[in-house]
């Protein structure tokens, strides 16, 4: 599996995915920048991994190796999980720095980088990952235009729904965007739920992706 992950890095991790990866981290330093958009870059980066893989005929190359198709899917899943989760972890220091300097973003600009925010981001990513990973193994070569449109629509819809309480200044909105220490501790269950949904997105889509990829004629 280590060799397959190395192959993913060499054949699938194109410059676009790298740029999106760092955008998702660096944008947390921008005051009043919509926080959910920062992690939309990461979602797009994950999709770019598939696009770059297709451009490099990665799946066709992998078919020549003495490995099972299931292992190919597993390696891609692990690589995307590492890509997303490491981006999230590395975004925390700049988010903390921005929170410390500015005291938080203007509510009209959306949620702060709170504990609840990271839980909601994981929740949204879990849903979009389930859809994306369930769709992207249908073909060995594709431009993934339909997948992009579907993932974009889902992410933006969930992003909008999550921001509405903050924009409207409801009690729920004030709770999830609060940076007070006491509130941050109370937000931990939301982080746990988000992490569970993020993991579930991978586990639930894996058998679907394997089943579809087994039918692909390489």
- Given this model, what pLDDT does residue 108 score? 66
Query: Distance between CA 58 and CA 17 in Å, rounded?
Result: 16
- Given this model, what pLDDT does residue 218 score? 66
Q: What pLDDT, in 10s, does the model give residues 93-135?
A: 999 998 888 887 766 678 899 999 999 999 999 999 999 999 9
- Given this model, what pLDDT does residue 175 score? 93
> Given a cut of 90, is residue 60 above it in pLDDT?
no
- Helix residue spans in the chain (DSSP H): 2-11, 15-26, 35-55, 58-63, 69-102, 115-135, 145-168, 171-177, 181-186, 188-214
Query: Distance between CA 194 and CA 197 in Å, rounded?
Result: 5
When pLDDT is averaged across residues 163-181 and rounded to a whole number, the result is 91
When pLDDT is averaged across residues 175-188 and rounded to a whole number, the result is 91
Q: What pLDDT, in 10s, does the model give residues 73-104?
A: 999 999 999 999 999 999 999 999 988 888 87
Q: Chain-wide mean pLDDT for the chain?
A: 89
Q: How confident is the model at residue 162 (pLDDT cuts 50, 70, 90)?
A: very high
Q: In the structure encoding, which two tokens stand for residue 20, read together?
A: 């999106």
> Given a cut of 90, is residue 22 above it in pLDDT?
yes
């Amino acid at each position: 599996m280590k060799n397959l992950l190395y192959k993913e890095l060499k054949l699938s991790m194109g410059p676009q995915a790298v740029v999106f990866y760092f955008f998702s981290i660096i944008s947390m330093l921008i005051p009043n920048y919509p926080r959910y958009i920062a992690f939309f870059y990461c979602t797009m980066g994950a999709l770019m991994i598939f696009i770059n893989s297709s451009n490099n005929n990665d799946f066709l190359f992998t078919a020549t190796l003495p490995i099972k198709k299931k292992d190919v899917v597993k390696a891609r899943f692990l690589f995307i999980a590492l890509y997303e989760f490491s981006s999230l972890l590395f975004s925390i220091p700049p988010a903390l720095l921005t929170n410390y300097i500015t005291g938080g973003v203007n509510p009209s600009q959306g949620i702060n980088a709170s504990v609840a925010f990271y839980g909601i981001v994981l929740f949204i990513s879990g849903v979009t990952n389930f859809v994306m990973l369930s769709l992207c193994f249908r073909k060995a070569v594709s431009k993934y235009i339909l997948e992009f449109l579907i993932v974009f629509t889902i992410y933006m819809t969930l992003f909008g729904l999550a921001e509405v309480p903050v924009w409207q200044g409801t009690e729920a909105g004030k709770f999830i965007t609060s940076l007070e220490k006491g509130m941050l501790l109370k937000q931990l269950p939301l982080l746990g739920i988000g992490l569970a949904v993020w993991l579930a997105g991978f586990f639930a889509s894996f058998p679907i992706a394997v089943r579809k990829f087994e039918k692909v004629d390489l």
